[in-house]
Amino acid sequence: MNLIGKILVTLIFVMSIVYLGFATTVYSTHQNWKARVTKLKADISKADQQKAEIQTKLDAEVKKLQAERDAAQQLLGTAQQARETLVKENEAKAAELAKLETDLRDRTAAAATANQNLAAADAKVEKLRQEIADVRTQRDDNFKKATVLQDEKNALGADKKRLEDVNAKLGEQMAKAKLVLDRNGLSVETNVDGIPPKLDGIVLAVADNLVEVSIGSDDGLARGHELSVSRASKFVGKVRVISTTPDKAVAQVIADYQKGRIEKDDRVATRIQ
């Protein structure tokens, strides 16, 4: 076999493969037109059946709407009749209302006249009441004045008796006070600025020859006052106040009277009882 024969054989082989591909493609795209037509007829029949059902429903809805429209028209007619009836009744009520308003105006005018007459009568009655009230007020004022005067008289009598009793007691107290002053060598002219009042406290702190005590200027303590210091009823010494605050004071120990060491919580007093 020469070269041309080989080429022809190869070409025939290649063309066979190409034709085989074409045949396969045609076979794969082949359709069963009979089955498709049958299916289309079945779809058309089903669509016709659905169309008939829809038409039936549509006819029923149309009838229903027609019946509703007839009923609505009937109700509209009834409402129209009712409206006409209400209009007539409204006109009748309006006429009746106009008549009532006329009667009301007449009665209002009559009531106004009656009120004027009543107001005049009330004014007269009020004037008489005021006159009676003034008379009663004047009578009550006179009675109250008489009662007050009597009470004042009784109070003055009681005050006089009380003052007499107070005067008598003051006389007795003055006599006792004079006796006390005489026995203590004092008189009403004696200067008491340097004499401290009767006070009692404790020592709060001790530093060298100074002590802080729990009584101050609010208690009547002043600079220069002397305090006696004791412990368990035993005299320890004396201190002299050098400065005060409202509730405390600082005092200096008086060496001439010191009988022992002054300690915290010792008792201090202007007079030892």
Residue 232 domain-assigned? yes
C-alpha to C-alpha distance for 207 and 167, rounded to whole angstroms: 53
Residue 95 domain-assigned? no
- The CATH number assigned to the domain holding 223 equals 2.40.30
What does the pLDDT look like over 11-57, one tens digit per residue?
A: 888 888 888 887 777 666 655 667 777 888 888 888 888 888 888 88
CA nearest to 200, candidates 215, 210, 187: 215
Residue 260 domain-assigned? yes
Note whether 226 and 254 are within 8 A (CB): yes
Instruction: Please report the pLDDT score of residue 78 as a whole number.
Output: 86
Residue 4 domain-assigned? no
201 burial via Cβ count (<10 Å: 0-12, 13-18, 19+): buried
Residue 207 domain-assigned? yes
> What is the domain count for the chain?
1
C-alpha to C-alpha distance for 149 and 155, rounded to whole angstroms: 10
- Predicted model pTM: 0.35
- Is 70 exceeded by the pLDDT of residue 197? yes
What does the pLDDT look like over 159-192, one tens digit per residue?
A: 788 888 877 877 787 777 667 666 656 565 655 5
Average pLDDT over residues 65-77: 84
CA 113 to chain centre: 54
CA nearest to 251, candidates 260, 242, 259: 242
Residue 109 domain-assigned? no
Domain, as residue range, for 222: 200-269
More confident of the two residues 92 and 31? 92
